[in-house]
């Protein structure tokens, strides 16, 4: 009980003042406590993550008894990693949806390891009560491609979509095939930012559905994770956006590209020359030869920033990053900044010292920025 009653120091000082015994001190104490409780609601309930049944039941009771708490929730994360799944499970379709009407302020909706089958009623309720959601993250979830697209379509204000490690789980068709989303839902989807990290073989089908939405003309920012299985699908997808694409991140999974034959395949299939509107380009876990040959393709006159995101396992790895490539490519004269974002066990001082020793001339000019990658 002591831990529950523990208050922050700034409250302790004020509360102790009521021991003086005068009414002014007591009123000041009451006002301070009330102000702290009101402010704490914004902080404590702004970002909610639910993992277990008991957590959800407690949150449900709180929201139902105090509707103003639900109004404070801006980020809702559902993590089902701790249980074994069954296709027919009422948790998502029943328990979660019964309080959606009280969570109309949610801006970010995140699903982690959710493998339960969605129903059409669930999709409808999401579309009714989640009109404010602008970011949807689907991480390590299993669902059919139809379920996935219906889920995305439920959020009419969606502009930031993240899909990581999606597993296709073919299921019997449970949706009303007469629902004509082509003329109603699809044009309303104006996704401007898309992050895809999945090598599922149904990527081409998913891309086809996305291109039928308003994202076809709205998409500006794309981050993809490429491997041997997904290369062709991603290459075709990116080439279809031409000059409208402004920000692109290319991540190479499991050291894909280390093999010279694979590197040649990457460069042959991917044609960044068509993306003439690029303003920033990020390489993640990319080899020297892949980076140099892809940069050689660039024909974007307004490219301003190039970023290298990498893991440093040894200080010797620093020389393999090669941010100095831009010095050998005169068509990249528009680049104003090169960022190197790193992760690893070494301190920033150690990495910075070795980096300056390796690329001293261009580092001293201030064009290259070295930072630890806190978002990796």
State the DSSP string of 270-302: --GGG-TT-SEEEEES--HHHHHHHHHH---TT
Q: Is the pLDDT at 38 greater than 70, yes or no?
A: no
Any idea of the CA torsion for 233, 238, 240, 241, to the nearest 10 degrees?
160
User: How far apart (Å, rounded) are the C-alpha atoms in residues 180 and 374?
Assistant: 43
Which of the pair, 365 or 180, is modelled with greater confidence? 365
In a domain, 3, yes or no: yes
Q: Is the pLDDT at 72 greater than 80, yes or no?
A: yes
Q: What is the mean pLDDT of the chain?
A: 80
- State which of 96-100, 138-142, 171-175, 324-328 shows the largest mean pLDDT: 138-142
- State which of 4-8, 31-35, 54-58 shows the largest mean pLDDT: 54-58
Q: Is the pLDDT at 329 greater than 60, yes or no?
A: yes
In a domain, 173, yes or no: no
In a domain, 329, yes or no: no
Per-residue pLDDT reduced to its tens digit, 231-268: 888 888 888 888 999 999 999 987 787 777 888 899 88
Residues 141-156 have a mean pLDDT of: 83
In a domain, 120, yes or no: no
Give the pLDDT band (50/70/90) at residue 3: very low
**pLDDT at 369 (0 to 100):** 86
Strands (E), 198-354: 221-226, 247-252, 280-284, 305-311, 337-343
In a domain, 10, yes or no: yes
In a domain, 306, yes or no: no
In a domain, 14, yes or no: yes
Give the pLDDT band (50/70/90) at residue 65: confident
User: How far apart (Å, rounded) are the C-alpha atoms in residues 192 and 187?
Assistant: 13
**pLDDT at 40 (0 to 100):** 64
**pLDDT at 12 (0 to 100):** 59
b/e code 249-284 from CB counts within 10 Å (16+ = b) = bbbbbeebbeeeebbebbbeebebebbbbbbbbbbb
In a domain, 8, yes or no: yes
Q: Are 294 and 321 in contact (CB under 8 A)?
A: no
Q: Is 232 left (phi over 0), alpha (psi -120 to 50) or beta?
A: alpha
Q: How many domains does the chain have?
A: 1
- Domain extent, residue 20, equals 1-41
**pLDDT at 108 (0 to 100):** 96
Give the pLDDT band (50/70/90) at residue 137: very high
Q: Is the pLDDT at 341 greater than 90, yes or no?
A: yes
Per-residue pLDDT reduced to its tens digit, 163-204: 998 887 776 655 544 444 444 555 567 889 999 888 665 677
Residues 20-36 have a mean pLDDT of: 65
**pLDDT at 177 (0 to 100):** 44
């Amino acid at each position: 009980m002591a831990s529950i009653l523990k208050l922050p120091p700034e409250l302790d000082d004020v509360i102790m003042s009521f021991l003086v015994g005068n009414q002014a001190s007591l009123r000041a104490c009451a006002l301070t406590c009330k102000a702290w409780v009101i402010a704490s609601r914004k902080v404590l309930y702004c970002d909610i993550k639910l993992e277990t049944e008991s957590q959800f039941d407690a949150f449900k009771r709180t929201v139902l008894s105090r509707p103003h708490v639900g109004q404070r929730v801006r980020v809702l994360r559902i993590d089902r990693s701790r249980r074994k799944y069954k296709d027919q499970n009422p948790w998502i379709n029943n328990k979660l949806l019964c309080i959606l009407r009280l969570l109309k302020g949610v801006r970010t909706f995140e699903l982690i390891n959710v493998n339960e089958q969605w129903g059409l009623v669930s999709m409808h309720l999401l579309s009714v009560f989640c009109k404010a959601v602008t970011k949807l993250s689907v991480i390590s979830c299993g669902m059919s491609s139809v379920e996935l697209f219906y889920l995305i379509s439920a959020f009419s204000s969606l502009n930031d979509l993240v899909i990581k490690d999606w597993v296709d789980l073919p299921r019997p068709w449970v949706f009303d095939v007469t629902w004509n989303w082509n003329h109603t839902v699809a044009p309303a989807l104006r996704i401007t930012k898309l992050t895809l990290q999945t090598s599922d073989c149904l990527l081409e089908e998913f891309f086809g559905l996305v291109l039928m939405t308003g994202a076809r003309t709205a998409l500006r920012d794309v981050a993809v994770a490429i491997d041997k299985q997904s290369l062709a699908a991603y290459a075709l997808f990116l080439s279809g956006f031409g000059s409208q694409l402004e920000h692109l991140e290319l991540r190479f999974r499991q050291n894909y590209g280390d093999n010279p034959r694979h590197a040649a395949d990457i460069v042959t299939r991917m044609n960044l020359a068509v993306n003439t509107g690029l303003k920033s380009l990020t390489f993640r876990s990319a080899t020297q030869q892949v980076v140099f040959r892809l940069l050689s393709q660039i024909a974007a006159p307004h490219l301003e920033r190039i970023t290298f995101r990498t893991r440093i396992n040894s200080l010797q790895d620093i020389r393999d990053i090669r941010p100095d490539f831009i010095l050998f490519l005169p068509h990249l004269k528009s680049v104003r900044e090169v960022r190197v974002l790193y992760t690893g066990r070494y301190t920033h001082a150690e990495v910075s010292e070795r980096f300056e020793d390796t690329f001293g001339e261009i580092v001293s000019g201030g064009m290259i920025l070295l930072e630890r990658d806190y978002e990796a």
